[in-house]
Structure 1
């Protein structure tokens, strides 16, 4: 069915906007994640001494952006509802371009951490792009469009560290930050020149405050927000122990980090490949069915991961898990889009993004604590139980929910 035949008030320029958002999200994520391989080296250059202190400050500097971004995501979503979503993308790309370039000029660790905090406050391009695509795409194509955007985001997360492992040896760390700022500035120019948005009528503050009251099925929206948190907790709880777990499977110490990288990349690659196809399936078969099925399959796949005996087994299982979870966030976003009034989409999506950031913070803490107290296998099995409970909860709520208007 052609999306033009759906009189659902979608933005006429949604396809071009999707392409720009895809490009902008990919480039900004590349720029933001390419520092991962050399961040500890830069922290050391800024005067931090001792391996423990370098590791601690590297974690603080990297996590600062996610902390501040999670706090302001609902605000930017609400501002986008009121003043236009293109403006939010322009603000985010320009703010990130400037702060990223300034990171290359830092002379103390406090300046770096402060700039990372500002990057989170001022940035959020991929989050804004998700809100724009969710609000503008036709409802019968929303999960597909969001899946395509999610593939670009995950590809940026995957390509960034690879590029960051090469550039500093060629041009130096400080010039790499400057290059990242220039890359984001290209996304800024593309957004300014190419994104089109139908002029919005001013929305009164009363109507925005009444947005939650206008949602017909609050339990469904709350379940969707909770599922986003659960997904991030389940994903990030495994990340801190991957390398340690690989060490128990491989006798050659030189292969541990390489295999751990393959394990992490396998899950990301699976998600990149499946996000758009699962989104297309959800548009046809229903978002709830895909969400429930993805959680159930991922929960089942976690059980054998706790009992693997070789690295290649874990690589294969993580790839399959990435395939199963790739379309989950796009489907959650599409479900919000279908069940929230247009004037409140940005606000609710902002809360969803903020909740996901919270899951990214809590997940590693839970995983690290559980591994230390009960062993690494307990992390896989406990995460499996969480995902299966999430599948049951979604099935019950979605079964009782009326169809969206």
Structure 2
């Protein structure tokens, strides 16, 4: 009797009821990708035609989209779903990674995050001054809202010449620090990020992210040595409950960082979705009875969603779907699997930020007579995992 949560980072399925407050009314990550594929707009040398995700469709992805948006996207129809399916609405304010994951784990964010203004410079002068003093920096570059790939392309050469890290933010509650792994040093970047985390605590900034990159004047590329420095969740998540109950816990990818390494057990990392799937399979094979595995697949969001790469996103979805049978073969009869998401990042939408969307809740195992349906909080995922594992109750949510 084990529990497994797979988070397809940013795979939203339709505007949330409050999407207009975020200027996201009409955003629909899966639906718009499927429509683009059906129109032939995602055809290239390696893929063509409609979005092909048969395993997710059999679990009920298309019907979950119908619940959320009122229609099944092209190519996602199924005669009958084999799994239980539903959709969920986020009650936490914002559309960021920590809020989405914490709420999935049973703890909605009850407060407003701190954000930086869309001015140049955007960071408080005193914070920048203290960061430079404590980290022995000659200064910083950027100090603005920016796309991560754009800003390293624009300022990468100056960063290498000057030794000044590139600091920027986004619509999320985040302070990001980009630096060259070789010229600046990876350990030094992490040390600077730790200082920034301490300085920004009074401002209620959700995450400081170390964003290492490599390359030269001809082109800079971000690496997978990213590290997030998050504030801890404000209450006991499903990870905390399982830890207190002495359960085996395996977390995959950036789950450890998102939860400030509290209750995250053995954390397995991987370079990209395919490697993360390998780590997930390894984790499941080693997971003890009564254990919990919690995985995040970040490429959908970080590589394709934010970069508004519709074809890349479609290809990544199809690759993820193609590996699901390997996972199904490793499930035991009493295991409980939930595949979901933490927010949207519609690659057809304006800008480069996340989109406020509902998420799919696709379930295998548990009480097969009970429908999932439309859930009023992501916390129902955590509540259902807690009920299956019998480790008590998370602070919020109703089990399906």
- The TM-score, its normalising length taken from structure 2, stands at 0.23
- The TM-score, its normalising length taken from structure 1, stands at 0.23
Higher helix share: 1
